[in-house]
Structure 1
Amino acid sequence: MYTSKYIVLGVLSMGFLATGVAQEFDSIPSTKQGLNVLKTQEIPVDTTAMDMEGVEQMETMEAKDDIQDNPLFLVKGQKKYDLKDRPETAKFDSLWMKELYDSSSLFDSIYQDITTLEIDSVYHYNVDTDTLKARLEILNQKTPFNIVYNPSLENVIRYFLTRKRDMMSRMLTISQFYFPLFEQELDNQNVPLELKYLAIVESALNPRARSRVGATGLWQFMYGTGKMYDLDVSSYVDERSDPINSTKAASLYLKKLHDIFDDWDLALAAYNSGPGNVNKAIRRSGGYKNYWNIRRNLPRETAGYVPAFLATMYIFEYAEEHGFTRQVTDRPYFETDTIHVKSTITFNQISELVDVSEEELLFLNPAYKLKVIPYVKGKNYALRLPVDALGKFVANEKAIYAHVQNQLKSKEEPLPQIVQSKDQITYKVRSGDFLGKIAERYGVGVSQIKNWNGLRSNNLRIGQRLTIYPRKIPSSISSASTRKKSTNSVAAAGNKVHTVKSGDSLWTISKKYPGISIDNLRKWNGISGNDIKPGTKLKLCDCSS
């Protein structure tokens, strides 16, 4: 049996870090009761890492019949396996997870900063302008970005070094968990590795970050853009929050934008505001294509976006020169691995079985919105665990799934049914609306609406847009939808073929023909990716001509 591993390494230096600690043995109950649980060593491990092109390593692990070890047991009525970790590494993990949890609140702060940043304001910090110019010139030589000194960029750097110093210090720590993953995927797509700093500007490295307009995850994908790059969204799963899948999608999207503008600064601006706004800014500036020449014609949040990215890059590259202490250790201690689930399982069940807290499970598996990992035929949903816990899970897989099924059968309340992303609707809040009323209207729960939209309270504002996966459609909406679909079918009937023009994408084409989705275009025309060439004739129906 083969194993494919992808190890995410996080490192954190503690003053009391010790080396050469002997491994403790698990404490084992002496009496056999209830469910027999196998030991974890030397068992064929059927783990699967998220697909990463060009970096798979395969190795064979054989089970040995003569292994001697004390068996582990699940005692009847006992909620957790009696398994113990090494106390020193458990302490390190606890401190590391605390750092990760604490950083999750920084998204709101950086989102507010970027959208309201006054980059021409002067912030006082003891940095020599000539020294700054020399350092920026070195960065300019090392990267494909247009890093040239100007007073506005210096002001943003000073702002981050003063008012956002604590946040930058914490980003230097938490980035050690995510940056190895980012760099691998950016390298796979042959885009600049420095783009890893963009995730700090976008989300403060919070995989569950959600903006006021619905952009979600480390790379802040809107729903439509995420679908363009095959990020699955359902009532259970939002792959925009999955670190590996979303990083691959961000790499592909940024690469596409660079192909359009042939400039990484403009690609970044387009990533934030959309290619259309960048094109408008170029036109309004008289045809200039340098970011700093078109900046004043961009939306306000984008005017501060690229400077924030460049300032973040500068601070990370010259952290020690500005008094930041890098908390780094030579020994990695936080390792994780993944396995595809073979049955629907909840975080609560996993926590009880392998003794990993639900908070840690949520951090390691941020794509699962309802703390449930579904099993869907044709989908490969993976569970990520610390390697020690994963070994326990894999070695006892059959017993665990049998235990889970017995639990599900004994519960009166069924798990929520999966609603695929194609059933998503956007609801605009009207006067007199409240969450309970909207939830009843569409046959869903208030907690579900809050989860889908990242709401922390029950407060709504008129005009607010909510993402909903309805269990039922109100009759008035259903009849209106039927009339609209009929109209769309008639409108599309006369257009069976679309000739691709320069600037077209599957997304823009699908929007020109109501009732036709990106998946339709791919299926009808045998397209597997997103690339289409000008002059290509695309079928707009499931027809032979």
Structure 2
Amino acid sequence: MKRFGSILLLLFICLNSGALLAQHKQKPPVKDTVSGDAFIRIVDQSLNLYYTDFAKGLNYDSIIDALDYEAGTVPVFTDEDYCKRLAKLNQTSSFGFDCNDVALATIKFFAQNRRNFARIVLGRSRLYFDLYEEKLAEYGLPLELKYLSVIESGLRPQVKSRTGALGLWQFMYATGKQYGLKEDSYIDERMDPVKATDAACRYLKKLYDIYGDWNLALAAYNAGPGNINKAIRRSGGKRTYWEIRSYLPRETQGYVPNFIAATYLLTYHAEHNLLPVEPKIHFYQLDTLCLNRGIHMQTIEKIVSWPVEDIQGLNPVYKTSYIPPTLPRQCLTGPLEKIGLLVSLEDSLYALEQFIYGSGGIKSPLPTDIAVDSENNQLVISNPVNNAIDVPKTKVVTTINYTYHKVKSGESLGSIAAQYNVAIQDLMNWNNLTSARIMVGNLLKIQTRVSTTVENEEYIKAVKDSMENTNPVKTPAPAPAPGVVKKYYTIRSGDTFSRIASKHGITIGQLQRLNPEISPNRIRIGQHLRVK
């Protein structure tokens, strides 16, 4: 299918360090002629991104002190230590985390030489691993598969291989199309974290159904089933990865060892004095708005002060800064506060988009002038056809914010409501509670509204500044912020979390965020779920 992103670092170690470690007595020698150039390139690119995104203001020393490590200490362990930890992983996993010389050499290389990369990936995992685990659980797949994306892309959705594989899961165009990932001038769903993860789960499940062995399924994910079948034939019909490894393509020979190393290091990162680089945002801090019209990210930036580069970073599916109108609707993912503000200003967002870009979505070169007629309280647009738009002198902008409260011992719904100055009934509505009973550890959503009066002259000036060389069409004034309309669904026989989300046009993640106190695997008939 795809030949990308995967490391076979043993030759690299050989060339730089000399000889390989001695083989275990019970294992036959494994000859290594492996080149890890593709994965090394991913590592280097991720390191560059680290220095760009995270280096400023990072307080790492205090975390290290808390673990009783000296700053800069690189712990060293025996082979027995590594093997015991891999054996522990095997006890709770359906994978075969073999402790052989190849796996040990790869683990040691990363633990010693790729420490910053591990820290970056640990930080990025907080944005993606919750999503991965949700999807893997939905398809009944081992949760350890989340580490596969680490060796594929370094958890960067925009990364593209020299052979054209793209996204967190590195789909080639043909394979992505086979699994429903669309591409056009504006979008490439191989870069959509949710859709690409869903496609990867379906593809991995199919490969496991073919081979009945996860190590072979992983090798097939990298090299394609055709190459795995050839290696099986050339080996005389052997059916394990380690038995056919020498017959596989060079980069695939290192794929499973690299997966083992990534799983090990990210699981035992604290033991190796590796703490995550704090990410800009966590998965639980995200929300989603599905758009009714095409929107330029520049318009979003103007209306809620959300930089275009940050919008693109959280919405890598869009190839340009324009989000096209489609059915089903295109969605925008962002921080809770930005999405909440956009929801309250959605009508104004569409009005400003129309005002700046017109109906065609492309700026016109025709000259335009904008002025404020204070006497008649109008915004006057001078173009080939004079239009006037009524604009109030002031407007009230209501921002809806969400915070979460974890229930502590001794707290009640009444005490929490008093703490946040909200009504108990509102707390019950926001969290879909049918009674006032709560349990320690429950996560309660708290909604707050902040209303701000804005002078329209500032708004008009901002619009005017953006209107150079444009030709807008007549557009109604921005509408008042709509209220939050809630919708609930009663669970019926045969319903699943996934089916309910699909039925209401939302993702599983959105449904979970609307119902944080409900476990997706423990829903029951008659229970009420908030779906909007």
TM bucket (normalised to shorter chain) is 0.5 to 0.7
Change (3 A) 1:251 1:238: same
Change (3 A) 1:344 1:115: farther
SS in 2 for 1:156: helix
2:4 and 2:165 in contact (8 A); partners too = no
How far the C-alpha of 1:410 sits from its partner, in A, is: 9.0
Pick aligned residue for 1:241 from 191, 206, 212: 191
Q: Deviations over 1:227-272 (max 9, x none)?
A: 1111111110011101111001000100000000011000000000
Aligned to 1:212: 162
Give the TM-score normalised by the residue count of structure 1.
0.53
1:334 and 1:386 in contact (8 A); partners too = no
2:126 and 2:283 in contact (8 A); partners too = no
Aligned to 1:392: 341
Amino acid aligned to 1:118: L
How far the C-alpha of 1:278 sits from its partner, in A, is: 0.4
Pick aligned residue for 1:118 from 11, 31, 50: 11
How far the C-alpha of 1:328 sits from its partner, in A, is: 7.6
Amino acid aligned to 2:11: E
1:339 and 1:383 in contact (8 A); partners too = yes
SS in 1 for 2:109: helix
1:320 and 1:326 in contact (8 A); partners too = no
How far the C-alpha of 1:406 sits from its partner, in A, is: 1.7
Change (3 A) 1:268 1:332: closer
Pick aligned residue for 2:266 from 293, 303, 316: 316
Q: Deviations over 1:33-57 (max 9, x none)?
A: xxxxxxxxxxxxxxxxxxxxxxxxx
Q: Deviations over 1:429-472 (max 9, x none)?
A: xxxxxxxxxxxxxxxxxxxxxxxxxxxxxxxxxxxxxxxxxxxx
Aligned to 2:354: 405
Pick aligned residue for 2:324 from 363, 374, 378: 374
Aligned counterparts of 1:412 and 1:362: Cα–Cα separation in 2: 18
Give the TM-score normalised by the residue count of structure 2.
0.54
Q: CA RMSD in A?
A: 2.6
Question: 175-184 or 387-396: which moved more?
Answer: 387-396
Q: Deviations over 1:490-519 (max 9, x none)?
A: xxxxxxxxxxxxxxxxxxxxxxxxxxxxxx
Aligned counterparts of 1:181 and 1:196: Cα–Cα separation in 2: 9
Are 1:251 and 2:144 an aligned pair? no
1:116 and 1:301 in contact (8 A); partners too = no
Aligned to 1:196: 146
Aligned counterparts of 1:309 and 1:193: Cα–Cα separation in 2: 13
Are 1:175 and 2:125 an aligned pair? yes
Amino acid aligned to 1:375: P
Aligned counterparts of 2:282 and 2:182: Cα–Cα separation in 1: 32
SS in 2 for 1:339: strand
Aligned counterparts of 1:379 and 1:369: Cα–Cα separation in 2: 18
How far the C-alpha of 1:379 sits from its partner, in A, is: 2.6
How far the C-alpha of 1:315 sits from its partner, in A, is: 0.6
Moved over 6 A (4+): 110-113, 331-334
Question: 149-158 or 123-132: which moved more?
Answer: 123-132
Q: How do 1:10-409 residues align onto structure 2 when only pairs under 5 Å count? A: 114=7, 117-118=10-11, 121=14, 126-326=76-276, 335-376=285-326, 378-409=327-358
SS in 1 for 2:97: coil
SS in 2 for 1:348: helix
1:119 and 1:155 in contact (8 A); partners too = no
2:121 and 2:276 in contact (8 A); partners too = no
Aligned counterparts of 1:308 and 1:333: Cα–Cα separation in 2: 26
2:189 and 2:317 in contact (8 A); partners too = yes
Aligned to 1:498: none
1:119 and 1:156 in contact (8 A); partners too = no
Aligned counterparts of 1:357 and 1:412: Cα–Cα separation in 2: 20
Q: Deviations over 1:331-353 (max 9, x none)?
A: 97961111111111111111111
In structure 1, stretches of 5+ residues that fail to align are 1-109, 416-545
Aligned to 1:62: none
Aligned counterparts of 2:221 and 2:277: Cα–Cα separation in 1: 31
SS in 2 for 1:249: helix
Aligned counterparts of 2:115 and 2:77: Cα–Cα separation in 1: 14
Change (3 A) 1:123 1:360: farther
Aligned counterparts of 1:238 and 1:115: Cα–Cα separation in 2: 29
Amino acid aligned to 2:242: W
Aligned counterparts of 2:211 and 2:13: Cα–Cα separation in 1: 26
Change (3 A) 1:321 1:114: same
In structure 2, stretches of 5+ residues that fail to align are 22-74, 365-532
Aligned to 2:375: none
Q: Deviations over 1:283-336 (max 9, x none)?
A: 11111111111111111111111110110001112111112135689x979611
How far the C-alpha of 1:117 sits from its partner, in A, is: 5.0
Q: Deviations over 1:342-383 (max 9, x none)?
A: 11111111111111111110111000001111002x232101
Aligned to 1:31: none
SS in 2 for 1:234: coil
2:120 and 2:277 in contact (8 A); partners too = no
How far the C-alpha of 1:407 sits from its partner, in A, is: 1.1
2:228 and 2:248 in contact (8 A); partners too = yes
Amino acid aligned to 1:345: I
How far the C-alpha of 1:411 sits from its partner, in A, is: 8.7
Change (3 A) 1:412 1:336: closer
Aligned counterparts of 2:335 and 2:304: Cα–Cα separation in 1: 10
Amino acid aligned to 2:7: I
How far the C-alpha of 1:126 sits from its partner, in A, is: 2.9
